[in-house]
Amino acid sequence: MKQMEPKTFGSNQEMQDAEKNFLHRRHQRARLAQSVFQLTTLLAVIFLATLLVTVVNKSMGYVVVENKVDPSTLSDRPLSELNNTELAQMLRENLRKNRVRTLERAGFLEDQSQSTLVQLVETEIIQPEVVESYNLFPSLINSSKIKADAASTYPNAKVEFRYWLNGTLLTNSMASQPELAGVRSALLGSLQLILITILTAFPIGVGAAIYLEEYASHKSRINRLIQTNIDNLAGVPSIVYGILGLALFVRALQPFTSGALFGVDGQNGRTILSAGLTMALLILPILIINAQEAIRSVPDSLRQASYGLGATRWQTIWHHVLPGALPGILTGTILAISRAIGETAPLIVVGASTFITSDPTGPFSSFTALPIQIYNWTTRPQPAFQHIAAAAILVLLIALLSLNAAAILLRNRFAKRV
Amino acid sequence: MNQPSKYAIETRGLNIFYGDFQAVKDISLQFERNRITAIIGPSGCGKSTVLRAFNRMNDFVPSAHATGEVLYHDQNINHPSVDAVQLRRLIGMVFQKPNPFPKSIYDNIAWGAKMNGFRGNTDDLVEETLRQAALWDEVKDNLKRSALALSGGQQQRLCIARALAVRPEIILMDEPCSALDPIATLKIEDLMRELSQNYTIIIVTHNMQQAARASDYTAFFTMDTDRSGIMVEYNETSLIFTKPKDQRTEDYITGRFG
Where are the domain boundaries for CATH 1.10.3720.10 in chain A? 184-417
Q: What is the DSSP letter of B177?
A: T
Is A298 touching B (CB cutoff 8 A)? no
Q: What is the DSSP string of A117-166?
A: HHHHIIIIII-EEEEEE--HHHHHHSHHHHHHHHHHH-TT-EEEEEESSS
Q: How far is A289 from chain B (nearest CA, A)?
A: 22
Beta carbons within 8 Å of A395's beta carbon, 6+ residues apart: A165, A169, A170, A183, A187, A370
Mean predicted confidence (pLDDT) in A161-175: 84
Instruction: State whether B95 and A309 contact (CB < 8 Å).
Output: no
For β-strands A60-67 and A128-133, DSSP reports them as antiparallel
Confidence category of residue A249, pLDDT binned at 50, 70, 90: very high
The beta-carbon neighbor of A310 closest among B99, B102, B166 is B166
Mean predicted confidence (pLDDT) in A314-339: 91
Nearest CA in chain B to A324: B102
Helix, coil or strand: residue B250: helix
Beta carbons within 8 Å of A401's beta carbon, 6+ residues apart: none
Least confident of A42-46, A183-187, A237-241, A311-315: A183-187
Is A310 touching B (CB cutoff 8 A)? yes
Q: What is the DSSP letter of B243?
A: S
Helix, coil or strand: residue A5: coil
CA A82-A87-A88 angle, 5° bins:
150
Chain centroid to CA A284: 18
Q: How far, in Å, CA of A87 to CA of A110, rounded? A: 8
Q: What is the DSSP letter of B2?
A: P
Taking CB atoms and an 8 Å cutoff, what residues of chain B touch A326? none
Beta carbons within 8 Å of A347's beta carbon, 6+ residues apart: A242, A275, A278, A279, A369, A371, A372
Q: How far, in Å, CA of A133 to CA of A163, rounded? A: 11
Instruction: State whether B62 and A319 contact (CB < 8 Å).
Output: no
The beta-carbon neighbor of A219 closest among B62, B102, B163 is B62
Most B CBs within 10 Å: which of A220, A303, A309, A317, as the mutation test of the B interface? A309
Confidence category of residue A4, pLDDT binned at 50, 70, 90: low
Query: What ipTM was predicted for this assembly?
Result: 0.91
Taking CB atoms and an 8 Å cutoff, what residues of chain B touch A307? 57, 60, 88
Instruction: State whether B103 and A301 contact (CB < 8 Å).
Output: no
Q: Which of A227, A224, A249, A206 is nearest to A336 (CA)?
A: A206
- What is A184-417's CATH topology? MetI-like fold (1.10.3720)
CB atoms closer than 10 angstroms to residue A257:
29
Q: How far, in Å, CA of A57 to CA of A135, rounded? A: 6
Residue B15 and residue B22 in contact, taking contact as beta carbons nearer than 8 Å: yes
Instruction: Classify residue B92 as left (phi > 0), alpha (psi -120 to 50) or beta.
Output: beta
Residue B101 and residue A308 in contact, taking contact as beta carbons nearer than 8 Å: no
Instruction: State whether A310 and B148 contact (CB < 8 Å).
Output: no
* Helix ranges (DSSP H) in B135-229: 136-139, 152-164, 182-195, 208-214
Secondary structure in 3-state letters for A31-50: HHHHHHHHHHHHHHHHHHHH
Is A309 touching B (CB cutoff 8 A)? yes
Q: What is the mean pLDDT of chain B?
A: 90
Q: How far, in Å, CA of B204 to CA of B52, rounded? A: 10
Nearest-Å Rg of the Cα atoms of chain A is 30
pLDDT at position A314 is 94
Quick check: A80 pLDDT over 80?
no
Best mean pLDDT range from A75-79, A207-211, B64-68? A207-211
Phi, psi of B168, rounded to the nearest 5 degrees:
-80, 170
Quick check: A386 pLDDT over 70?
yes
* Sheet with A158-163: strands ordered across: A128-133, A60-67, A158-163
One-letter amino acid of A117: L
Most A CBs within 10 Å: which of B61, B96, B111, as the mutation test of the A interface? B111
Q: Could you give the C-alpha distances from A345 to A278, A334, A371, in angstroms and in order?
A: 11, 20, 9
Phi, psi of B234, rounded to the nearest 5 degrees:
-140, 125
Confidence category of residue A38, pLDDT binned at 50, 70, 90: very high
Instruction: Classify residue A310 as left (phi > 0), alpha (psi -120 to 50) or beta.
Output: left
Q: How far is B175 from chain A (nearest CA, A)?
A: 14
Q: How far, in Å, CA of A163 to CA of B75, rounded? A: 81
Q: Could you give the C-alpha distances from A252 to A180, A233, A249, A267, A269, in angstroms and in order?
A: 38, 22, 6, 15, 9
pLDDT at position A239 is 94
Instruction: State whether B99 and A301 contact (CB < 8 Å).
Output: yes
In this structure, chain B runs to a length of: 258
Least confident of A3-7, A281-285, A396-400, B198-202: A3-7
Instruction: Using a pLDDT cut of 70, give the percent of chain B over it.
Output: 97
The beta-carbon neighbor of B62 closest among A217, A307, A324 is A217
Most A CBs within 10 Å: which of B56, B83, B85, as the mutation test of the A interface? B85
Nearest CA in chain B to A318: B115
Least confident of A75-89, A222-236, A239-253, B69-83: A75-89
Instruction: State whether A304 and B95 contact (CB < 8 Å).
Output: yes
Residue B130 and residue B139 in contact, taking contact as beta carbons nearer than 8 Å: yes
pLDDT at position A2 is 54
- Would you list which residues of chain B are within 8 Å, Cβ to Cβ, of chain A? 55, 57, 60, 62, 85-90, 92-93, 95, 97, 99-103, 111-112, 115-116, 146, 148, 159, 162-163, 166
Instruction: State whether A301 and B97 contact (CB < 8 Å).
Output: yes
Q: How far, in Å, CA of B222 to CA of B232, rounded? A: 7
For A210, how many CA atoms within 13 A lie in the half-sphere containing its CB?
18
The beta-carbon neighbor of A309 closest among B62, B148, B162 is B162
Residue B105 and residue B145 in contact, taking contact as beta carbons nearer than 8 Å: yes
Residue B229 and residue B47 in contact, taking contact as beta carbons nearer than 8 Å: yes
Cβ density class B10-28: b for 16+ within 10 Å, e for less: bbeebbbbeeeebbbbbbe
Q: How far, in Å, CA of A241 to CA of A257, rounded? A: 17
Instruction: State whether B166 and A309 contact (CB < 8 Å).
Output: yes
Residue B98 and residue B156 in contact, taking contact as beta carbons nearer than 8 Å: yes
Q: What is the mean pLDDT of chain A?
A: 87
Q: Could you give the C-alpha distances from A332 to A238, A329, A350, A401, in angstroms and in order?
A: 18, 5, 25, 15
- pLDDT, one tens digit per residue, over B148-188 is 999 999 999 999 999 999 999 999 999 998 888 888 889 89
Instruction: State whether A309 and B92 contact (CB < 8 Å).
Output: yes
Residue A303 and residue A283 in contact, taking contact as beta carbons nearer than 8 Å: no
Q: How far, in Å, CA of A261 to CA of A265, rounded? A: 9
Q: How far, in Å, CA of A79 to CA of A61, rounded? A: 25
Chain centroid to CA A249: 23
Instruction: Classify residue A395 as left (phi > 0), alpha (psi -120 to 50) or beta.
Output: alpha
Taking CB atoms and an 8 Å cutoff, what residues of chain B touch A301? 95, 97, 99
Taking CB atoms and an 8 Å cutoff, what residues of chain B touch A308? 55, 57, 88, 92-93, 95, 163
Confidence category of residue A5, pLDDT binned at 50, 70, 90: low
Quick check: A417 pLDDT over 70?
no
- pLDDT, one tens digit per residue, over A52-69 is 999 999 998 888 888 888
Q: Of all helices (H) and strands (E), which one includes residue B15?
A: strand B7-18
Is A153 touching B (CB cutoff 8 A)? no
Q: How far, in Å, CA of A153 to CA of A173, rounded? A: 32
Quick check: B1 pLDDT over 50?
no
Q: How far is A316 from chain B (nearest CA, A)?
A: 10
Instruction: Using a pLDDT cut of 90, give the percent of chain A over it.
Output: 39
Phi, psi of B71, rounded to the nearest 5 degrees:
-95, 125
Instruction: State whether A309 and B57 contact (CB < 8 Å).
Output: no
Confidence category of residue B258, pLDDT binned at 50, 70, 90: low
CA A99-A101-A105 angle, 5° bins:
120
